[in-house]
Amino acid sequence: MAMDPNPKSFPILSYVMARIPSLSPRPPAVEFDIEQPASPPSRHAAQNPSDLSSSSSQIVDDMPHLSDPKVLASMTNAISDVAQTRSILKTLGERPDHEAIDTAKAKLADVEANLSAKLQEIVLSPRPADVEMLEWRALLAERENECRQAADKEKQLYSAIVQLDEMHEAYAKMLKEAEQRLVKIYESAERGLQEEKLDPVSEETNEEVARILQEANEKEIDRINLSSRRLQFLPEEFGRIRGLVVLDISSNQLQNIPDSISGLENLEELNATSNLLESLPDTIGLLQKLKLLNVSGNMLQALPDSICHCRSLVELDVSFNALTYLPTNIGHELVNLEKLSIQLNKIRSLPSSFCDMISLRYLDAHFNELHGLPQAIGKLTQLEYLNLASNFTDLTELPHTFGDLSSLRELDLSNNQIHALPDTFGHLENLEKLNLEQNPLVIPPMEVVNSGLDAVRTFMSKRWLEILEEEDRKRTLEMDEQVQTGWLTRSTTWLKSYISGVSETVSGIVGSPNSPKDPYLEQQL
């Protein structure tokens, strides 16, 4: 099968796996490659099983210690994880092709975009007057949960395709590591050393963790550094170190963080960068004193909503992950956040609540799939650094309120599809660095852009003044028209009133039957 190790690339591993009866009753074909679909064997190859045995005998001739039962047993134990993964892949089937993977990823992105839009609509929906606040919140939570469940159901098939591809990719990496491990075992056998039953690094790590936990029981510890120890799990007991302020578990092989982390009630800094985390525990929201959280370089596809409860957060780094959205209420509650790094993810939009991060000074969102910014982005008046580079064909315009970012000093908009800067761009008086490269800009023209920041700001300021003058001219014309129309209307009304009054007077004098009669006039008539 395609997941069999290629003897040309992994000679020792292929030899060992071919001798595990439960998994490989016969040696794998020499031409099979994990990265490519297996080509049909030729008729000559099918009739020559001796070729397989000759390949095995060749490696034994080159590496005679492989025939030693003890060495072979040691190697078999060392690749148990490879054998287990191989059996799973054998059940799941061949690796999907690139077209199927790309299609699945595109469908997942569409589902996430639709979900984000629906969640935003739910959050912004007005509360009926006859519904109490608590009841309304519960109803919104129920609606949001229904939307997420529907999206999860829709994503199941596409996620399965992507996950199967990731498993094959991980298996390929595992083969390389396993081959290296077997080479070390063989070299040890050649030197007459004992079998490598346990990775020395892992043994040292376990001893270090045990020592730290023992020390924590005896005295108060406020800092722990377990960086680069090849940790595969973090013991639940770490949640009992109540006095811990700083925890560094970066550059390990952690796939999860235990729920017991909620017990670290005094924790202020957590560094879990460069691990294999696919999710964060919901209990992370109980870390009320947490100020710095770094989970960059993992495999996170979403952040738990409870992260919004970490209201003391000042710096949050979730870069180099697979995030497609941020929690809906992240801006409403993380009002103390000053630095946010979300670069190199797959985020398509920022929630409207994002504009409520009134303390935000630094935002790096380059290499995402942003289609735009929230209309109220101008509320972030403390923002000094903004990187929106390399959102490519997705980012085409900026909102009108962009000019209200009065504290902005550095701005990177390179590698996008922006045709025109917002008319208020000239208001950014504190801007010191600007990158507009690789944009099809028309406003301002490229010759102005190439002249530098001052030229751009001058052009946009002049354009803004021209817009204001044009609006003022139109307003003046409208006022003149209203004045003229008003004078004519008043004159006509006065004339009508005057004529009406005279007519009534004459009529009253001449024709009224009840008016007193003048004897002289009667006589003359």
Break the chain down into helix, strand, coil percent, rounded to 5.
Answer: 50, 5, 40
Q: What's the length of the chain?
A: 525
Q: What counts of helices (H) and strands (E) characterise the chain?
A: 12, 10
- CA nearest neighbour of 79 among 41, 134, 23: 23
The runs of H, that is alpha helices, within 326-452 are: 330-333, 446-449
Asked whether the beta carbons of 214 and 237 are under 8 A apart, the reply is no
Asked whether the beta carbons of 9 and 178 are under 8 A apart, the reply is no
Asked whether the beta carbons of 255 and 278 are under 8 A apart, the reply is yes
DSSP letter assigned to residue 368: S
How much is the pTM? 0.56
Residues of the chain with CATH 3.80.10.10: 202-466
Asked whether the beta carbons of 440 and 448 are under 8 A apart, the reply is no
CA gap 56, 75 in Å, rounded: 16
End-to-end CA distance of the chain: 132
Q: Which fold has domain 202-466?
A: 3.80.10
Asked whether the beta carbons of 41 and 127 are under 8 A apart, the reply is no
Exposed, middle or buried: residue 63 (CB in 10 Å: 0-12, 13-18, 19+)? middle
So what's the pLDDT on residue 248? 94
What sign does the CA torsion over 349, 355, 356, 357 have? positive
Query: What does DSSP say about strands 246-248 and 292-294: parallel, antiparallel, or unpaired?
Result: unpaired
Q: Which two tokens stand for residue 286?
A: 């109980």
Adjacent-strand bridge partners of 270: 247, 293
What string of DSSP letters covers 151-212? HHHHHHHHHHHHHHHHHHHHHHHHHHHHHHHHHHHHHHHHTTPPP--S-HHHHHHHHHHHHH
So what's the pLDDT on residue 185? 76
CA gap 182, 177 in Å, rounded: 9
Adjacent-strand bridge partners of 386: 363, 411
**DSSP 3-state assignment of 343?**
coil
- CA nearest neighbour of 256 among 286, 291, 228, 232: 232
So what's the pLDDT on residue 25? 40
Q: Which two tokens stand for residue 8?
A: 């040309």
- CA nearest neighbour of 172 among 33, 286, 327: 33
Low-confidence stretches of the chain (pLDDT < 70) are 1-4, 19-57, 60, 77-78, 80-92, 98, 190-206, 485-525
So what's the pLDDT on residue 81? 64
Residue 77 CB-half CA count within 13 A: 11
Asked whether the beta carbons of 276 and 299 are under 8 A apart, the reply is yes
Q: Which two tokens stand for residue 346?
A: 């797959």
DSSP letter assigned to residue 420: B
CA gap 398, 373 in Å, rounded: 7
What sign does the CA torsion over 68, 74, 80, 81 have? negative
Asked whether the beta carbons of 168 and 132 are under 8 A apart, the reply is no
